[in-house]
Amino acid sequence: MSDVTTRRLDLAGTRTFAMPGAGPTRRRALAEFGFGWLQDLWREACAGRRHAGVALAAVGSLARADGGPLSDYDLVLVHHPRGLSGAEVGAFADRLWYPIWDAGVRLDHSVRTVAECRAVASEDLSAAMGLLDLTHVAGDADVVNAARSTVAHDWRANARTRLAELHESVRVRHARQGDLAHLLEPDLKDAHGGLRDMAVLRALTEAWLTDRPHGEVDEAYERILDVRDAIHVVTGRGRDRLTRDDQDACAALLGHADSDELLTELSGAARTIAYAVDGTLRRALQSQRARTLRVGPRRPQLAPLGYGLYRHDGEAVLGPSADVASDPVLPLRAALVAARNSLPLSPTTLRNLAAHAPDLPEPWPDVARDLFADLLAAGPGVVAVWEGLDLSGIVERWIPEWTAVRSRPQRSAVHRHTVDRHLVETVVSASGMVRDVSRPDLLMLAALLHDIGKVAGATDHSVEGAALADRILRRIGTTDHDRDVVVRLVREHLTLVELATRRDPDDPATIATLSEAVSGSVKTLDLLRALTEADASAAGPKAWSDWRAGLVARLHEACRAALLPDEAAARTDGAGDADERGVEPVAALALPENLIEKVAVGEPHVSVASLGGAHRIDIIDRDRAGLFADTAGLLAAHGFVVRSAVVRTLDGLAVNEWWVDSPGGERPLPEIISRDLTRVRAGDRAPLGRLQRRKAVASGPVRSPGSGAPDSTRAMVVSSASDTATVIEVRATDRPGLLQDIGITLARASLAIRSAHIATYAGQTLDTFYVTEFGGGRLAPARTAQAVAMIIDTCDGR
């Protein structure tokens, strides 16, 4: 490590890193050191000679004095063409650059005349924004001032034509890098809400297009810079990405209790900047669209929206007649109008509402409760409106418990948002299902509150959330009956999907468990089904897929039929409730005589039905030991990923249903699967050869990115799940052929698989097997322990 790098790290002041105000002081000291060192290099390079018309200038973080301990130096050698010759300028530049490289400092450098600075800025948007920060370091200050003023003049003069280019570059960058507020390993510079967005705000202000927010935005910027500085110190490198491996050390350096607290603060800062850049850029674009040549001042164009609000420059604003100070319901009215019109509330309106609107009385009046439910059901427009309300402090006045989940990270790989944003996204998803339930208002409340229990220290967020929801609903003033329903939905919001993916949906015990969870109410069951889909859809594509939707729908219908037998009978008499979802219970299948005869003579029957990106494969074959394992192996050999499997035996025939994904896009071919099953049953293992080759090539378990070493396998017996079978739940890291290996293990243990329910979730399997002795009946305790041990050994490769 060079003396310069050591000095820069010493200036970082690790002992005072977490002290209030230490960040700006540290960064100013680093900039002063950098300027002083570069001025020394300049004098050495000049060797006592005066170079008129030549100057060293800085751009980027060094110019702004907000660089980190190991940030690179962006330098420009600016010169007049009538001064030194090209060769002389090049030689002089080398005398500057080489000592910087020798010191181990990362350097981005260029040599340009004033005219070249102007030309580059006109052609390259990124260069133009950088040159707006051009700052004199050493040499002829006049040449630097000339270059900077020329670039700034052109930037303002061409603002109308370059604004669309700037907007598109921001949009592309945000789409590529994602939202800093919701990433577990964020890029602090380029992500939405990151450091580069602050440069966009400065550029918009420099163009005289609009002013930018200050205060909280500047504070948020400093907090992100503090995290960036901590990354430099912890890693010893000038990085901008906060990786999982570095989060604990950065949190400790910054004085946080743990990495979750660090990510929560970072997320909050990023949200502040993201909201500011989105709004400022939107207003700049609107101002350009609205500009027309006219004599005198331009009067604002206001379009009435209702409740005293107007549309103005793409935002919802309060009109002059609004009586903010005497109407506690006005924030709800304003939010509802804005969300329904897909408009954000203007920052001025939000500040006015936050500062002057009185608090709602407790319990809330009926009109407030109705407006709140309508707001939640307003659809996608609620996202931007809720963000503005939250950042301005209005949401926590309605729901004080919201502060505990605001910007809180979620470590689960299936979640793409922080807890609070996931709740809002769930609300948006649920708003599309309001016609599917009898009480959409209760659905929307449950969607907003279902994860409110994901607070620090909670052991079971569903139970914790139910208690918090009860308190919130009492404050809002819901009736006892409605409050009981919503609290139950919050407490049981994972029950339906867990039972659908881990239990046998045709087992009476499964249906009884779900019926108890909804207190025997069909209306509550329908609400739970809608909440389940909304929750999973909002979490991301890993949490909701065609096969998972089919399993949930199947269990929902089975439980509904049990709760409403008359209604179920009426549906059975109608046109096929085995419907387009393809989830007809296997036990209800009536097998044609010719099919039974065909299978009896040794020819498996295979049919394939596709639903979206998933495929249902129904296989009917003579029952035998190892059929489950052979089928799983064949499907894996053909490149299919098993998502679900239901196995049944009817009069000596195995009637098996498989749901698979096809990563390669191929559709399963029934004739090939039937042929290969026949060959394997006859002892020909060649069709399984491709799976063996895949196993040989695989270097280890398939893991989700960033998951680290796989956890050891867990297998447990769920004693209450069935009265007629032993239920074993297996959690393991997925790998090619794992399901086949488990099937072979159970066959070697002389156990029959009555049904299997398979789920692969973010690289982890969660499989449930209903097993019996070959003659039927549950396993004895000793046999159960043996089976569990064998499964664990198989999954762990022992």
Give residue-wise pLDDT tens across range 121-173.
999 999 999 999 999 999 999 999 999 999 999 999 898 888 989 999 999 99
According to DSSP, the β-strands at 107-113 and 73-79 are parallel
CA within 13 Å, CB half, 124: 11
The tokens for 179 are: 């939202």
Amino acid letter, residue 55: A
Residue with more model confidence, 678 or 20: 678
- Give dist(CA 547, CA 193) in Å, integer: 36
Q: Which pLDDT score is estimated for 677? A: 87
Closest Cα partner for 486 from 455, 458, 444, 520? 444
Helix 522-539 / helix 495-502 crossing angle, nearest 10 deg? 80
Whether 110 shows a pLDDT value over 50: the answer reads yes
Helix 216-235 / helix 244-253 crossing angle, nearest 10 deg? 110
Q: Which pLDDT score is estimated for 712? A: 66
Whether 203 shows a pLDDT value over 80: the answer reads yes
Amino acid letter, residue 17: F
Q: What percent of the chain is modeled with pLDDT above 70?
A: 89
When pLDDT is averaged across residues 253-258 and rounded to a whole number, the result is 91
- Give dist(CA 138, CA 144) in Å, integer: 10
pLDDT, tens digit, 9 for 90 and up, residues 432-449:
888 788 888 999 999 999
pLDDT, tens digit, 9 for 90 and up, residues 209-250:
778 888 899 999 999 999 999 999 999 898 999 998 999 999
| pLDDT band, very low/low/confident/very high, at 50 (cuts 50, 70, 90) | confident
User: Across the chain, what does the average pLDDT equal?
Assistant: 85
Q: Which pLDDT score is estimated for 685? A: 84
Scored b (16 or more CB within 10 A) or e, 194-230 reads bbbbbbbbebbebbebbebbeebbeebbebbbbbbbb
Please give the full DSSP string across 719-749, using - where no structure is assigned.
TTS-SSSEEEEEEEE--TTHHHHHHHHHHHT
Q: Which pLDDT score is estimated for 291? A: 55
Q: Which pLDDT score is estimated for 284? A: 85
The tokens for 13 are: 């002041």
Contact between 718 and 771 under an 8 Å Cβ cutoff? The reply is no
Residue with more model confidence, 583 or 348: 348
| pLDDT band, very low/low/confident/very high, at 349 (cuts 50, 70, 90) | very high
| Highest mean predicted confidence (pLDDT) among 486-495, 613-622, 707-716 | 486-495
Residue with more model confidence, 499 or 578: 499
Q: Which pLDDT score is estimated for 696? A: 58
Contact between 330 and 357 under an 8 Å Cβ cutoff? The reply is yes
Q: Which pLDDT score is estimated for 55? A: 94
Lowest mean pLDDT among 115-119, 569-573, 614-618, 762-766: 569-573
Q: Which pLDDT score is estimated for 690? A: 75
Q: Which pLDDT score is estimated for 139? A: 93
Is the whole-model pTM more than 0.85?
A: no
Cα 421 to chain centroid distance, Å, stands at: 9
Residue with more model confidence, 28 or 570: 28
Lowest mean pLDDT among 277-291, 362-376, 706-720: 706-720
Contact between 62 and 260 under an 8 Å Cβ cutoff? The reply is no
- Give dist(CA 614, CA 660) in Å, integer: 6
- Give dist(CA 513, CA 431) in Å, integer: 28
Whether 199 shows a pLDDT value over 80: the answer reads yes
| Highest mean predicted confidence (pLDDT) among 23-32, 390-399, 665-674 | 390-399
Whether 656 shows a pLDDT value over 70: the answer reads yes
- Give dist(CA 429, CA 753) in Å, integer: 37
- Give dist(CA 512, CA 520) in Å, integer: 9
